[in-house]
Amino acid sequence: MPHPREHEYALETWTIHAGLDPTDTTGALVPAIHPSTAYVRPALDEPGDFTYSRRGNPTRAALEQVLARLHGARRAVAFGSGMAAVTAVGQLLPSGSHVVLPDDVYGNTHRLYTLILPEQHITVDFVDYTDPHAVERAIGPTTRMLWVETPTNPTQNVVDLAVVADIGHTHDLLVAVDNSWLSPYFQQPLKFGVDLVVESTTKYLNGHDDVMGGAVLTNDAALGDRLAFLQYVGGAVPSPFDCWLLLRGLKTLAVRMDRHQANALAVARFLARHPRVERVYYPGLAEHPGHAVALRQMRGSGGMVSFEVRGDRDTARRVAEGTRLFRLASGFGGVESLIAHPLTMTHASQIGLAIAPSERLLRLSVGIEAEADLITDLDAALAI
């Protein structure tokens, strides 16, 4: 039997062996960290592969190559945080642009487009992306981009990426997708025709709650070059050590994501049967309105579960503060289980707006602990 080529390996195999430096002659299984900020030129007019670490760094280059491969992208550009990546995409837009965003968009993306980018004369509308007609109606003469989250944060609406990409390209618009909720292990949006994918690499790609990072991925050479220029001049780059930690975290992506999903599905099924729970949001449940679309474009439904308690905000507070394994924190994607109250912790900028999440809504980042322990913890908190 012929030996398989590297590109023929399954993702689960490839991520374990990715990120090694082919020029390394030491035989080290772990790649080196290159902390140098400047690099010697062979000659005045020969800059070499690297010149200054803000422009390019060997450790960051290795990370970007791995991220591109994971998404099936021609180009990956790494940033110092997820919001730095989101902001870089916003900087692609000319002054006077209009953007269509989801009506339950992530809180800091909402802040960026309502509190910062208006100073560059960027305007926005918020729509339900599960309704293609609503997206079409929101497009105007100055619209330049459709910004998508799927599943959305925190109410887990599932958006048909192929449909939205077709709408966007019919109107000559950029289509960008925040994929942080699922990671490329469960969803690869470029396959459905979108132009840009944003990842908060802080989340599942790292998986250990100890690195800040972000990335933008594309198959468009011109967009890739412009993003690299924004990365270099804007300076929001990850450190070599953070890139190295991300490369290390990626080696366990497959096993972590499978465990996150198995636990999340068990938790969602438990909550759906609980008398003190009004509603559960998880695309892996057959009763979820986006379940059929999820089966078409997602390998799995991920580790995030949202639910509404029966009662009021005080009820939600008691549950959020009553868990022990689910720690009260606003991040997600790490091996530890977290619980958050979005209206207070992540989406406070939307308080008083029609798009604000329910005061009874709680969001879970389901970790990789023992399934029975997680369910017992939630059951005890719901009984308080």
Is residue 199 domain-shared with residue 97, that is, in the same domain? yes
Specify the 3-state DSSP secondary structure of 25.
Answer: coil
Per the annotation, the verdict on 203 as an active-site residue is yes
Is residue 242 domain-shared with residue 333, that is, in the same domain? no
Given 250, 267, 284, the domain boundary residue is 250
Residue 382 has a pLDDT of: 98
Given 233, 250, 267, the domain boundary residue is 250
Is residue 18 domain-shared with residue 165, that is, in the same domain? yes
Q: 139: number of CA atoms within 13 Å, CB side?
A: 20
Question: Where residue 366 sits, what CATH number does that domain have?
Answer: 3.90.1150.10
Active-site pick, 39, 54, 144, 276: 54
| Distances, alpha carbon 178 to alpha carbons 16, 20, 61, 152, 183, in Å | 25, 28, 22, 9, 10
Residue 28 has a pLDDT of: 86
Is residue 187 domain-shared with residue 327, that is, in the same domain? no
Q: In what order do the strands lie in the sheet with 304-309?
A: 277-281, 304-309, 361-365, 338-340, 327-328
Instruction: Indicate whether 1 belongs to any domain.
Output: no
Is residue 200 domain-shared with residue 347, that is, in the same domain? no
Per the annotation, the verdict on 178 as an active-site residue is yes
**pLDDT > 90? residue 367:** yes
Is residue 144 domain-shared with residue 268, that is, in the same domain? no
Domain limits at 356? Answer: 253-382
Q: Both ends of the chain: CA-CA distance in Å?
A: 61
Is residue 14 domain-shared with residue 83, that is, in the same domain? yes
Residue 4 has a pLDDT of: 63
Is residue 263 domain-shared with residue 205, that is, in the same domain? no
**Entry pTM:** 0.94
Listed in sequence order, the DSSP H helices in the chain are 11-17, 58-71, 82-90, 107-111, 132-138, 161-170, 183-186, 221-234, 240-250, 253-273, 291-297, 313-322, 342-345, 371-382
Active-site pick, 60, 75, 203, 256: 203
Is residue 335 domain-shared with residue 278, that is, in the same domain? yes
Least reliable range by pLDDT among 2-16, 70-84, 269-283, 336-350: 2-16
Active-site pick, 103, 178, 195, 242: 178
Residue 201 has a pLDDT of: 98
User: What gap in Å lies between CA 341 and CA 312, rounded to an integer?
Assistant: 12
Q: What is the pLDDT of residues 65-88, one digit of tens each?
A: 999 999 999 999 999 999 999 999
Helices (H) and strands (E) in the chain, counts: 14, 12
**pLDDT > 70? residue 251:** yes
The helix (H) or strand (E) run that includes residue 114 is: none
Specify the 3-state DSSP secondary structure of 22.
Answer: coil
In this structure, what are the phi and psi dihedrals at residue 262, rounded to the nearest 5 degrees? -60, -45
Specify the 3-state DSSP secondary structure of 225.
Answer: helix
Between residues 101 and 45, the one the model is more confident about: 101
Pairing of strands 214-218, 98-102: unpaired
Domain tally for the chain? 2
Closest by alpha carbon to 201, among 36, 348, 84, 365? 84
Per the annotation, the verdict on 258 as an active-site residue is no
Per the annotation, the verdict on 54 as an active-site residue is yes
